[in-house]
Copies of this chain bind each other. A is one copy, B any other.
Amino acid sequence: MPRVSEDHLIARREQILVAARTCFLRNGLHNTTMQDLIAEAGLSVGAVYRYFKSKNEIINAIAESVAGGITALLQEVSTREPAPPLVEALSEVFDAINVQVGENGNFPLAVQVWGEATLDPAIREIVRHRYQGMREAYVTLARRAVERGELAPDTDVEAAASVLFGLIPGFALQRLFLGHPDKDTYLRGVRALLNPG
């Protein structure tokens, strides 16, 4: 199909990325061959190489998109009016994390991307940027919690944000590798520490 609409081009790209995600999730970034990915997309070798000039370019595109959903949620929750209580905000985020850890979720793929980020500077930069964005949402969350008196007025907002943000991968990894705790238990733990003896 020559001389094709721009929409078609974008759709093809998306089709390839969807197939890539499926394959990477099933077999990993490295064990997935271009043949696998091409078969999954239902395209030919030539077609795929028209839209991405290498496997690495596909991996980068996946790395860019893998945390998109969570990032968007964080930005929404952290700027919502009126600001939800801290524990309520965390609860919503944990719900989203649970989905990503579960069947067909993106979290296992994100873990693979982290591994790649320890080696490849381009992917490292992508991950750093995403991580930065997520953390900034937590700074907003913490700042507003101080403003409305949920946290002490002299709280170091940056420090508190780091800890709150740190709870997320801590939760996700336990879910992924141990299968527990569930969200409510984890939140109970957070509350317990927020109100120590």
Q: Which residues of the partner chain B approach A164 to less than 8 Å between Cβ atoms? A: 189, 193
Contact of A162 with B174 in the complex, beta carbons under 8 Å: yes
Q: Does A161 contact B (CB under 8 A)?
A: yes
Q: How many of chain A's residues have a CB under 8 angstroms from any CB in B? A: 60
Contact of B27 with A119 in the complex, beta carbons under 8 Å: yes
Which stretch of A9-17, A69-77, A108-116 is in the interface?
A: A108-116
Q: Which residues of the partner chain B approach A124 to less than 8 Å between Cβ atoms? A: 177
Interfacial residues, chain A to chain B (CB-CB below 8 A): 27-31, 108, 111-112, 114-119, 124, 127-128, 131-132, 135, 146, 149-153, 155-156, 158-171, 173-174, 176-178, 180-181, 185-186, 188-190, 192-197
A-B contact pairs, 7 of them (CB 8 A): A27-B119, A112-B118, A131-B173, A156-B188, A158-B181, A166-B173, A193-B193
